[in-house]
Structure 1
Amino acid sequence: MSSGVVERTRRARPPGVHRRRPDRGRRLVSGVATALLSRLAGLVVPIVLVPVTLPYFGNDLYGLWMAVAALAGMAAFADLGLGSGLMTKLAPCYAHGDTVQARRYISSAYLTLSGLALTLTGLLWIFAGAVPWSALFNVSGQVSPEQTRMIALICLTAFALNVPLSLIARVQYAYQQVGRSNVWQTAGSLAALGAVLGVVWADLSPLLVVALSVAAPLLVNLLNTLWFFGRQEPRIRPTPRAVQAHAAVELTRLSGLFFLLTVVISFATNADTLIIAHALGLSAVAGYVVPAKLLSQLGQLVVLVNVPLWPANGEALAQGQVDWVRRTTRRMTVVSVLAAGVPAAVLVAFGEWLFAAWLPVPMGGDRWLLAGLGVWWLLQSALSPRFMVQNAGGVLVPQLVGWGAFLVVSVLGKWYAADRIAVAAVPWVGAVGYALTVVPAALYGYRRALRPHRGPVIERRVVQDCAR
């Protein structure tokens, strides 16, 4: 009887499982290594650009640029969660070699987001004259209404057009091409750096600086998309004929939860700049956004390092390898905390000297502000691997509850802190709110994501014991 059970178990295993199991760890290491190199390039770009563009723009115009960028960041939900839902759905397709279903998901996502991008761009330009841009960003003094309107239109248009083009990174991650995706993203950052330095050196309009900085990554995503679907994976190339109603509905159902979660997280994590702009004015934004931007590179590094866990966990969960998921999550938690904590501690200790030597415009170096930003990113780094498990398993409700509570608590607390205490109190309020709301929800969601996959693991162990 035991031999029959073993034989049926062997037949049930997806083709290629034995070949891919030992490769997953190597792919993950490769993805983490290239993510580090990509983020290093992403870190160099703002380090070079801030001291160049800040005096070139002036505090008010630079603060406006960063405020518009924050608004675009808050609109990250414009992809309706289809990017996240697509990566979750593609991981099992890749694990089982199902190119037909993968092409259906990809075609549905591209068709939906391409139509959405064109619609958003058209509406933006049609109604641009009716939007009170200056009031929206609390602009006064040296920045004209025309400059405000054009910077907003340039940034938001590039963002809208990049919504479907940025799907390529999700597809590459799901198909375990993390290294190639990171190389393309690095090329986008370096292209933007070269273009901006060229415009500043030629002493051209600041509006051209803004335009080139947002257009370069968009162009790189377009080239990456054409190369991937044209040369590397033509079998899953999106076409209108491949769109299937059932696949589209299935993808949309999962993406709807990702959409709600992305809306909440986007507002919760990008509200600081707008809160400070309205509470204290645009001149205070520059003093906050420069150290926040520098430390955010550490946070983005941790996120970028952990994103390869998403499809890897999806593949592992599809094969019932819960032990691998647990072990890898623990290891990546340690890596994430060290990656964010060590540089943050150095910046807190030497930040005042660094800003004085780095920036031609005095910024100060409030250690309480730097420490608060460091703690904020350290908390997010510690939970990032557990979020990747929940995303892979499609367990989003606990995250939605935690982030929703954080949004309410943090916005009210940060507004009070900026107005009544000091700018340095803003990240501390965020860190305390995060610990009280998001952390418990994340720990519960992680356990819930693993629960449905425990049975298959126990069953395989019994089968192995019987085989012995």
Structure 2
Amino acid sequence: MSDGPAERAARPLSARRRPPDRSRRLVSGVATALLSRGVGFVAPIVLVPLTLPYFGTDLYGLWMAVVALVGMASFADLGLGSGLMTKLAPCYAHGDDRRAQGYVSSAYLALSLLAAAMIAVLWLLADTIAWTSLFNVAGEVTQAQTRLIALLCLTAFLVNVPLALITRVQYAYQQVGRSNIWQAVASLTGLGLVLAVVAAGLSPLLVIVASVAAPPLVNAVNTVWFFRRAHRTIRPRLRAVDARTAWELTRLSGLFFVVTVVMSLGTNADTLVIAHVLGLSAVAGFVVPAKLLAQLGQLVVLINVPLWPANGEALARGQLGWVRRTTRRMTVLSVLFAAVPAVSLVCFGDRLFAAWLPVPIDDDRWLLAGLAVWWIIQAALSPRFMVQNAAGVVVPQLVGWVAFLALSIPGKWYGARWFGAAAVPWVGAAGYALTVLPAALYGYRRTLRRSPAPAQEREVEPIAV
């Protein structure tokens, strides 16, 4: 006899969440990731030909150098975002809202206090920092402009540190599609604000303000909507902060923090290396194709990050077969999404830049090819990293990225000096293959060994991609 509505309602929440729903949510997440990244891809394409002549080569190069520095500061959340998503996935799988609220409350409290303290220190020490030396500023850009642009970008980034946690919470609670839509809204909001400022002929500094203000504004609205309308039971509260839960989250987040620091330094150093070795004038020629290819990398990240909480739920249920099948399929999908447009850009990028940009840049195919190889290699490994992240297996990643940092930074410096900016991504791709790739493969196998399947693992409908 089948169970009635009362019996089904009395089951634990984890028993009522069926694994096939996970696959459908993952497909939805990939689809909305394409939409979100499509918007994020179009926005810089529209903005570069407007902002580059509006700013001038030196000022635009400074802005991009500051953006690179901000990218290096992505570790400012101390790994709490990554740790939170890892911890929340099992809570979602088992319906444990009390523990989830403890994790959420601890993360928001810690990052809010941290962001406020860092903003205060930044502005207090602003006059003591040699901004012009940091960015190798020369030409028409003044010291006052350099200082103000750096402060604006860094302050907006720090304000967004706690606000950006909402994305991690939504992903952990399998609301990847909605989160991606909100990210698309942020891109469109920034685009609209920048276009309005440029159309009004206002100061380039206001263009930067418009660009950096959009993400925190949209994240704030998203946070209010999520916790007040959709998930009241896990919204952050001071009384929900628990010392033991906070320690569990902090211990895992510390490992993610170290990995993020090393990864950010290794992957965002290119612009600063080129600025110091070749000068700011060379930055624009590098950063435009690099930003264009970076959109492919962000697309790969967006379509794979939903795997993180989905794998966490699957590992919590012991469904290793689903993890293996999905990882294989997402590897193929990631490589295709990175390789097809990257190869097209290598073949036809010179024509695109000539027709698209009002200011000519170097159309070095070796630069484009190196950037393409760099992102394709990362795309191939991304699904395996998502499995490790879901299980909190961080040490193999840390070893690989530390080795990459030690090997790649000197290599990029000398490569740029001897062969120009085109050598930088090639050096990075070679270093990545020698260090991070073997670490990723080892960590993936270790994660599956640490998560033995139940005696009779339930077969799950494979994801269709």
TM-score (norm 1): 0.95
1:182-225: CA deviations, max 9, x gaps?
11111110000011011111110000000110001110000000
Tell me what 1:311 maps to. 309
One-letter amino acid matched to 2:81: G
Q: Is the 8 A contact 1:341 1:374 kept in 2?
A: yes
Tell me what 2:321 maps to. 323
Tell me what 1:95 maps to. 93
1:264-318: CA deviations, max 9, x gaps?
0000000000000000100000000000000000010000000000000000000
TM-score (norm 2): 0.95
Q: 1:385 aligns with which of 383, 386, 403?
A: 383
Q: Is the 8 A contact 2:131 2:146 kept in 1?
A: yes
* Pairing of 1:260-279 with structure 2 (within 5 A): 260-279=258-277
One-letter amino acid matched to 2:280: L
Q: Is the 8 A contact 1:188 1:217 kept in 2?
A: yes
Q: Note if 1:369 corresponds to 2:392.
A: no
Distance 1:19 1:82, change over 3 A: closer
Structure 2 residue runs of 5 or longer lacking an equivalent are 1-10, 459-465
Tell me what 1:258 maps to. 256
* Pairing of 1:54-203 with structure 2 (within 5 A): 54-203=52-201
SS of the equivalent of 1:140 reads coil
1:226-268: CA deviations, max 9, x gaps?
1100101010010110000000000000000000000000000
Tell me what 1:422 maps to. 420
Q: Is the 8 A contact 1:355 1:364 kept in 2?
A: no
> RMSD of the alignment, in Å?
1.1
User: How far did residue 452 of structure 1 move?
Assistant: 1.8
User: How far did residue 364 of structure 1 move?
Assistant: 2.6
More deviation in 18-27 or 111-120? 18-27
Tell me what 2:398 maps to. 400
What CA distance in whole angstroms lies between the structure 1 residues aligned with 2:94 and 2:257? Answer: 27
User: How far did residue 461 of structure 1 move?
Assistant: 5.1
One-letter amino acid matched to 1:26: R
What CA distance in whole angstroms lies between the structure 1 residues aligned with 2:437 and 2:12? Answer: 36
User: How far did residue 420 of structure 1 move?
Assistant: 1.3
Tell me what 1:343 maps to. 341
More deviation in 219-228 or 18-27? 18-27
One-letter amino acid matched to 2:325: R
What CA distance in whole angstroms lies between the structure 1 residues aligned with 2:421 and 2:303? Answer: 30
User: How far did residue 46 of structure 1 move?
Assistant: 0.4
Tell me what 1:460 maps to. 456
Tell me what 1:5 maps to. none
User: How far did residue 17 of structure 1 move?
Assistant: 3.3
> Matched residue pairs, number?
448
1:359-414: CA deviations, max 9, x gaps?
00001311100000000000000000000000001000000000100001110000
Q: Note if 1:45 corresponds to 2:49.
A: no
What CA distance in whole angstroms lies between the structure 2 residues aligned with 1:18 and 1:432? Answer: 47
Runs of 4+ in 1 over 3 A off after TM superposition: 13-19
Tell me what 2:461 maps to. none
Q: Is the 8 A contact 1:85 1:255 kept in 2?
A: yes
Tell me what 2:4 maps to. none
One-letter amino acid matched to 1:103: Q
Identical-residue share of aligned pairs (%): 71
Q: Is the 8 A contact 1:83 1:170 kept in 2?
A: yes
Structure 1 residue runs of 5 or longer lacking an equivalent are 1-12, 463-468
SS of the equivalent of 1:238 reads coil
Tell me what 2:229 maps to. 231
What CA distance in whole angstroms lies between the structure 2 residues aligned with 1:408 and 1:260? Answer: 15
More deviation in 416-425 or 436-445? 416-425
What CA distance in whole angstroms lies between the structure 1 residues aligned with 2:457 and 2:149? Answer: 60
Tell me what 2:242 maps to. 244
User: How far did residue 19 of structure 1 move?
Assistant: 3.7
User: How far did residue 421 of structure 1 move?
Assistant: 1.3
One-letter amino acid matched to 1:132: A
What CA distance in whole angstroms lies between the structure 2 residues aligned with 1:300 and 1:122? Answer: 31
One-letter amino acid matched to 1:240: L
User: How far did residue 18 of structure 1 move?
Assistant: 5.7
